[in-house]
């Protein structure tokens, strides 16, 4: 098996490994399209999962089932499937705590059950999808058939970008007519905009600056655009809301100081929902006044995207029945296995016209 791996912090390279051994409930997948994620960039260049060596990257894929273990019921070689970014161990004890995203029984970068981020297994615990063959554990619970009506492009976007942006919306607990701010409108933020609209938000502020992101944010449902280069984002939101602020703020971009903005622009009793992957500092500041000296009833939540079969099948239906077209976010198309590296470097460099690349294999 050949794959694009993290060699050490700050360095990627190609590695050759033995074909992964699959357990009785696992599957071996041959990817037909993959996409790099901003999180792969954090992993390699910020070293957020530690100094991994020869760990194959990638967690967004659509592929063909190559081989299944003898206990796999619903998938067979030749099936076209979405592989979710998050692949919990569904019979792990921690599942009973209601947090599948953190439930894994193989040890990863932390050495105990119920680890935060445990089910973010690709790269951290098992090799990722940037390989000509890779293993998916508990295939019946983690894979989803990609129906003919749903394109490969949409399948790849569902695996991570849609489930993440929508999770930002879920944790924001949006009610009909709410004023929602989405901080950052890369592919994750764009899906948060789309999800906020689907969830009944009244007014949706999209915060970003690059013209093609702004255009798509409007298409997905933003009613107002704020460029954070045009002055303080909080002041701009306050001015446009008659100093009321937002019912909910979803964080999908920015650095550690973005939490200050989010808290300061949220109404008392409102929700702050983070899906950003903070990776540069050890702590995040909280503004005391904005937090009502600790008594403002503002809820701060941060979540890893849900994975698993059921989640994927639900999102597939949203595309299949015309609620959402995430493939509009694909701005760059690559062909061939070797171009996975180019797509990852593109994701790191983030040229102004980039939204999301895809690589056809």
Report the residue number, 48 or 199, with the smaller CB distance to ligand NDP: 48
Rounded to the nearest whole angstrom, what is the least distance from the CB of residue 159 to ligand NDP in the complex?
Answer: 10
Residues 120-139, one symbol each (x = binds Zn ion by CB under 5 A, - = not), give --------------------
Rounded to the nearest whole angstrom, what is the least distance from the CB of residue 277 to Zn ion in the complex?
Answer: 8
Contact (Cβ atoms closer than 8 angstroms) between residue 121 and residue 83: no
A 10 A CB-CB count for 211 gives 10
Query: Could you say which of Zn ion, ligand NDP, none residue 189 binds, taking C-beta under 5 to 8 angstroms by partner kind?
Result: ligand NDP
| 160 binds Zn ion, rule: CB under 5 A | yes
Of 144, 156, 80, 165, the residue nearest 333 (C-alpha): 156
Report the residue number, 58 or 187, with the smaller CB distance to ligand NDP: 187
Rounded to the nearest whole angstrom, what is the least distance from the CB of residue 198 to ligand NDP in the complex?
Answer: 18
For the record, the structure tokens of 251 come out as 């964080």
Question: Which 261-320 positions form the footprint of Zn ion (CB under 5 A)?
Answer: none
User: Residue 284 is inside which H or E element, if any?
Assistant: none
Report the residue number, 209 or 339, with the smaller CB distance to ligand NDP: 209
Report the residue number, 265 or 304, with the smaller CB distance to ligand NDP: 304
- Nearest-angstrom CA–CA distance, 27 and 135: 6
Contacts for 350 with CB less than 8 Å, ≥ 6 apart: none
Query: Could you say which of Zn ion, ligand NDP, none residue 31 binds, taking C-beta under 5 to 8 angstroms by partner kind?
Result: none
Q: Which residue is nearest to Zn ion (CB)?
A: 37
Instruction: Tell me the DSSP string of 189-201.
Output: HHHHHHHHHHTT-
Report the residue number, 20 or 264, with the smaller CB distance to ligand NDP: 264
| 81 binds Zn ion, rule: CB under 5 A | no
Report the residue number, 16 or 227, with the smaller CB distance to ligand NDP: 227
- Nearest-angstrom CA–CA distance, 179 and 87: 33
Q: How many residues bind Zn ion (CB under 5 A)?
A: 3
For the record, the structure tokens of 215 come out as 């255009």
Rounded to the nearest whole angstrom, what is the least distance from the CB of residue 243 to ligand NDP in the complex?
Answer: 20
The binding site for ligand NDP (CB under 6 A) comprises 37-39, 42, 160, 164, 183-189, 207-210, 213, 228, 233, 252-254, 258, 275-277, 304-305, 350
Of 344, 351, 348, the residue nearest 359 (C-alpha): 344
Rounded to the nearest whole angstrom, what is the least distance from the CB of residue 323 to ligand NDP in the complex?
Answer: 20
Instruction: Tell me the DSSP string of 67-124.
Output: EE-TT--S--TT-EEEE-S----TTSGGGGGT-GGG--SS--SS-STT-TTTT--BTT
For the record, the structure tokens of 96 come out as 């009973």
Rounded to the nearest whole angstrom, what is the least distance from the CB of residue 61 to Zn ion in the complex?
Answer: 11
Report the residue number, 72 or 206, with the smaller CB distance to ligand NDP: 206
Query: Could you say which of Zn ion, ligand NDP, none residue 275 binds, taking C-beta under 5 to 8 angstroms by partner kind?
Result: ligand NDP
Contacts for 119 with CB less than 8 Å, ≥ 6 apart: 86, 87, 88, 89, 100, 101, 102, 103, 104, 304, 307
Report the residue number, 159 or 271, with the smaller CB distance to Zn ion: 159
Question: Which 29-48 positions form the footprint of Zn ion (CB under 5 A)?
Answer: 37, 39
For the record, the structure tokens of 321 come out as 């029945």
Give SS3 for 17. coil
Query: Could you say which of Zn ion, ligand NDP, none residue 186 binds, taking C-beta under 5 to 8 angstroms by partner kind?
Result: ligand NDP
- Nearest-angstrom CA–CA distance, 103 and 269: 30
For the record, the structure tokens of 60 come out as 């967004």
Report the residue number, 28 or 248, with the smaller CB distance to ligand NDP: 248
Contacts for 293 with CB less than 8 Å, ≥ 6 apart: none
Query: Could you say which of ligand NDP, Zn ion, none residue 220 binds, taking C-beta under 5 to 8 angstroms by partner kind?
Result: none
Q: Which residues bind Zn ion (CB under 5 A)?
A: 37, 39, 160
């Amino acid at each position: 098996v050949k794959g694009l791996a993290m060699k050490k912090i700050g360095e990627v390279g190609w590695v050759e490994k033995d074909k992964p051994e699959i357990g009785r409930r696992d599957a071996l997948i041959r990817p037909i399209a993959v996409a790099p994620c901003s999180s792969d960039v954090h992993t390699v260049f910020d070293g957020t999962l530690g100094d991994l060596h020869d760990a194959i990257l990638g967690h967004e894929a659509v592929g063909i089932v190559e081989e299944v273990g003898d206990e796999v019921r619903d998938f067979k070689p030749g099936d076209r499937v979405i592989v979710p970014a998050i692949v919990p161990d569904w019979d792990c004890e921690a599942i009973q705590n209601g947090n599948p995203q953190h439930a894994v029984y193989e040890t990863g970068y932390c050495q105990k059950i119920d680890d935060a981020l445990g089910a973010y297994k690709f790269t951290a615990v098992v090799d990722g999808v940037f390989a000509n063959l890779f293993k998916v554990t508990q295939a019946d619970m983690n894979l989803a058939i990609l129906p003919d009506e749903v394109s490969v492009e949409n399948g790849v976007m569902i695996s991570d970008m849609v489930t993440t942006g929508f999770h930002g919306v879920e944790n924001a607990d949006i009610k009909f007519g709410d004023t929602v701010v989405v901080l950052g409108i890369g592919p994750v933020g764009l899906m948060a905009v789309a999800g906020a609209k689907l969830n009944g938000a009244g007014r949706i502020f999209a915060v970003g600056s690059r013209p093609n992101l702004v255009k798509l944010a409007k298409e997905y449902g933003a009613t107002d655009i704020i460029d954070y280069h045009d002055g303080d984002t909080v002041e701009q939101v306050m001015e446009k809301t008659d100093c009321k602020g937002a019912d909910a703020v979803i964080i999908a971009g920015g650095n550690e100081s973005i939490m200050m903005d989010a808290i300061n622009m949220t109404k008392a009793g409102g929700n702050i929902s983070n899906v950003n992957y903070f990776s540069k500092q050890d702590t995040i500041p909280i503004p005391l006044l904005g937090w009502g000296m600790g008594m403002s009833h503002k809820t701060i939540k941060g979540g890893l995207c849900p994975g698993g079969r059921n989640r994927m099948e639900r999102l597939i239906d949203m595309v299949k029945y015309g609620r959402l077209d995430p493939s509009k976010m694909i701005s760059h198309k690559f062909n061939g296995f070797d171009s996975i590296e180019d797509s990852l470097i593109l994701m790191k460099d983030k040229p102004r016209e980039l939204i999301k690349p895809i690589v056809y294999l």
